Amino acid sequence: MRAIKAIVNLAALRHNLAVVRKLAPDTKVLAIVKADAYGHGLLRAASGLEDADGFGVLRLSEALALREAGYSQVLLLLEGVFSIDELHAVAEHGISIVVHNEQQLAMLETRAGELARPVSVFLKMNSGMNRLGFKPGSYQSACRRLQDCPAVADIILMTHFATADDDQGIAEQLAVFNATTAELNNPVSLANSAAILRFPEAYRDWVRPGIMLYGASPVAGSSAASFGLTPAMRFTSEVIAVQTLEAGESLGYGARFTASQTTRIAVVACGYADGYPRHAPNGTPIAIDGQPTQTLGRVSMDMLFADITYLPNAKVGSAVELWGETVSVDAVAEAAGTVGYELLCAVAPRVPFKVIG
């Protein structure tokens, strides 16, 4: 049996939630657990984040799974509903919805008398990201219509920042939001992970942490550890073979690495079918028996290679960390030209998970 596995640390999730609460002590926390909790497993992650005030998900099935598991907190569908059947289901189960377009608003208005109970709404403004939401010019009108709609229990105002993670920041979008909502007295939700870590002025009533809960950084060039975050996933395997290359010999598909000197190579039981990025280049960080080293050669479907020339005790059976405590997922992502979000979400279904903490 292959030794590869992903280990989810519930204590790390609790720690990262505590970081959010310390930064924004007067807000409610909507923990974002979409995409199977960023690859950690929806119900696994929820058990570590059970002290959150609510959970944000993408699909109705995720919200229903949380309700069926006994979670009574606010559950928010981040893209709202797309059919009458979904609208009836959220009303029946007390699930909140984002309303971001005219069709969703009209659905509430026309079906108000049919629902089991009124629905809580997060009304989304397109303040500049140009992805979802009502433009500022129509936002107040949409809010008034929801206030007059019998199908709506309460309204929280929200927007999403496009550049909270870089030098442009949130000032322009925040100014648009503030100006548009100045006459509205509803609760507000603005801050994603990057805004929580960088812009206290965006905290307001609800914050929406995502990637930071899992111990990865939303800010390029700043490590998760620098924000006091702890990785919630360790992706691990073991060495299944050792090869020695002489100078001039090449390694793996495409001969992407050629030795310039005698080089010991560990063959690791992990490949792109397990969720490791195929495009990770020579030099991507990895750890063998807790010692940092680097990958060499092209990642194949089930195996990859690591340099153990200077790790004389490494052998068949040595423990490998693809990412986790010694090697951050952000460092692997940076080497591979992507982001930690993608790597965490991409761990394949064939990888077994273990829960600790």
User: CA-CA distance, 108 to 123, in Å (whole number)?
Assistant: 13
Using DSSP, how many helices (H) and how many strands (E) does the chain show?
Answer: 11, 18
Question: What is the C-alpha separation between 41 and 16, in angstroms, rounded?
Answer: 17
Instruction: For residue 16, give the DSSP letter.
Output: H
d(CA 228, CA 238): 29
Separation between Cα atoms, residue 72 and residue 224, nearest integer Å: 30
Active-site residue 124, yes or no?
no
Residue with tokens 């050629």: 258
Query: 123 has which bridge partners?
Result: 99, 157
Q: What is the DSSP letter of 89?
A: H
Catalytic residue among 34, 272, 276, 341: 34
Of 190, 183, 224, 223, the closest CA to residue 204 belongs to 190
Which amino acid type is present at position 63?
A: A
Question: Which is nearest to 306 in space by CA: 216, 231, 237?
Answer: 237
Structure tokens at 58: 């993408």
Catalytic residue among 38, 135, 203, 253: 253
354 noted as active-site residue: no
d(CA 229, CA 203): 19
Residues 6+ apart with CB under 8 A from 111: 84, 87, 88, 151
The catalytic residues are 34, 253
